[in-house]
Structure 1
Amino acid sequence: MPTPTGGLTMAPARLALEDGSVFHGQAFGDLSPRCIDAEVCFNTSLTGYQEILTDPSYRSQIVTMTYPLIGNYGINEADLESGKIQVSGFIVRELANVMSNYRASQKLENWLSDQNVTGITGIDTRALTRKLRTTGAMNGILCTDTNLSDAELVAQAKTAQGLVGRNLVEGVSRTEPLQWDEDLGDWAPLHGEVERPAKQFRVVAIDCGAKLNILRNLTDSGCDVIVVPWNTSAEDILAHEPDGIFVSNGPGDPAPVTETIENIKKLHGQKPIFGICLGHQLLCLSLGAETYKLKFGHRGGNQPVQNLHTGKVEITSQNHGFAVDTESLESVGAEPTHINLNDRTLAGFRHNELPIFAIQYHPEASPGPHDSRYLFDCFIDMMQTGQSPTGEKMDLAQRRRNNLITSVTNEV
């Protein structure tokens, strides 16, 4: 039976991993007897648990927060990145007993309960994170059913499906076209204001699990945004007469998302194309490059990325478990523009001839720093010039956002 603990109603819960490890804690959120199987990963952000929980890129994952105290500022309606919680389960070291924020409308555990999502608290998240870093991302079982033994849970974890080879995009994409017109409003960063272009550029955004703040940033940068489902044909996309095409973030393995990849191939050279995260991987696959699964992925708001042209470093928000093989990308006529300094994996590219560029990280932040917001300006520039931005042009756009250059010129 669930019992109250420190003002919270909790029940016993366990996390079992495929390597045989079992962590015992207390459940919060949905306390019904159940077992959830998914890949277990970790996020190193200090804040932003609400945005993380609603990020469609976390579909079929159980997310561990490395920051030890979670839930202290509650939940509000303004900071959602999609219409619902997307994670399969949630792991925290300590769930806050009290929420304290003037914007909050409910507690974290009540929100999870309302959406039938189970969390576990009271386990050693530092030990869990070290295990995932050493062994690599593992499938796990988050269970509140006391009738099952630890050995039975480990056996379930060993046979869990995982992420590789699954098309998770079709489960998070919108199913009908949508006209998007919300911008950042009062939440636009105070620094780096750039005047919107005189022309409003029509952009078709292919929704592979798009975060709302990406769409807000596109609008805020001067785009008229039409969001379409992940499997919309190239012909239907071009029927909107766009000035540019955007390929969004999304969950899991990019290789099985073959319909999107084939449609993007047909769009090469037709219109300028910009991609973020999964969109970066899908664009690379459409060009003929290859992707592979990372050992434990990049998830957090503190990932260092370097501009290969200037050597300048920006701190970025990231969330992905797969990466693009750099040599395979160079062999199909593309040029790396950014790398992740933690492991030297590809973090951005441009095509040398086609108006295509993409990045592996998240310039919209949510949560995370705003160092990379200038990349939306680079998309505007690519639609104006028909040329993919070089590393130098990206640097100039970033300087303009940082108020280091004051005039808007054709250089950027």
Structure 2
Amino acid sequence: MQPGFGSGKGSTNWIDTPAGLYSTGDQNITVGKNTNLTAAGLISTDGQVNLDTGTLTWSDFVGSQKYQGYQVNADIDLYGGKDANGITQNNSSAEGKYQLDDVEQSVKATISGSGDMGNITIRNPGQQAALEQSGQTGRVDQINTDPTQLNVVTKNKHIDLEPYISVQSLQAAVDAGKSIADAINEAMAKMVADGTISAADQKALPKLQQYANDPEVQKQESQCLQSGASEVCTIKTSVSEYGYGGETIVVSTDALQAFTGATGVATAAVAAGLIAYAYNTNSGEQFIDKIVPIANGLQGEIVGNKDDGSLTFYILYPDQTKARIGLGVTATNGQLAVEYAYGPDGQPLSTATLDDFVNQINGAGSTVQIVYNQKSGSGSGSNGSSTSSSSSSTGSPDPEDDNTQ
């Protein structure tokens, strides 16, 4: 199996080249009524700028380019056979990349001649004063006159996290019943050594792992991740039924974003590998029940028999709850259909969550593809290019959930 897929989101509000008039000689400009400079310049590098206008309004601009996402390329065979000498044969590898870009700019309205203030004549000073007093514009003498400050990058944060999981380390973790959290922790340690995150962040992350399935902590982490790069968040935990908690954890957005990206890469790679393994190796009466620890206290489990017509994929959480997705075998070779999908709360998964799951597997480039009707989750309608004839209960609690987990 050779999956390669990714997920990302971003936004751009950016000015590549500010508008305006730029010259080497003099600029003599006469405007009958109002001159409006919105993040624009009237600049002469070697001459004078002479502006004669009824009134002048101006404003600066703060732009940003933000992107957060990850991509996975993997050749996964977690359960290879052994040779005649009993040596495990496995040439698999998994490569993941997490990327965060957080760039900001300041574009200032500028009037400058030969590096100094231009000559500005306001013919309607009374109306100009009214504009300034009402807040519709800044004062004329406060407009920027330094051409080097016309367009300045004020923040330039980039994080690239590339945790390369070797066949040996991944296989050893599986054989020992451990997760690949050690590999992620090693990546975090390297980021500390490189100065990308702090040693305090490295200590804070394991504490947060204890609350991987705590809704209140998840909410705070989500809010933290929306704060942008290089911010510091304070996450408060409550006392759990197990007796721990009730502490305050301070972590940077950089560390939380990197850790979230690394965990997402690991989870996606393991999920794709488990489903393809179960589909491609099941035969006859063989019943699969394989668990692979992932990271952050999570485990992935695949249960069932393809020849019996169905497989069930579980995500097991630290507090013993689980998400459950039923996959039915269709008449099309290499195709599975979502028959039901429930979250750890026993309720149907949201359409967005199910979309992510399906897109990750279908983007894997393997022979296994998943189709579904959005009614398999809590949404309605069909998934554009992917539909399924399978049926499921919509909006009903998970019948497997006996509230004793």
TM-score, with structure 1 as normaliser? 0.22
Q: Which has the higher strand share?
A: 2
Q: Which structure has the greater CA radius of gyration?
A: 2
Please give the TM-score of this superposition, normalised by the length of structure 2: 0.22
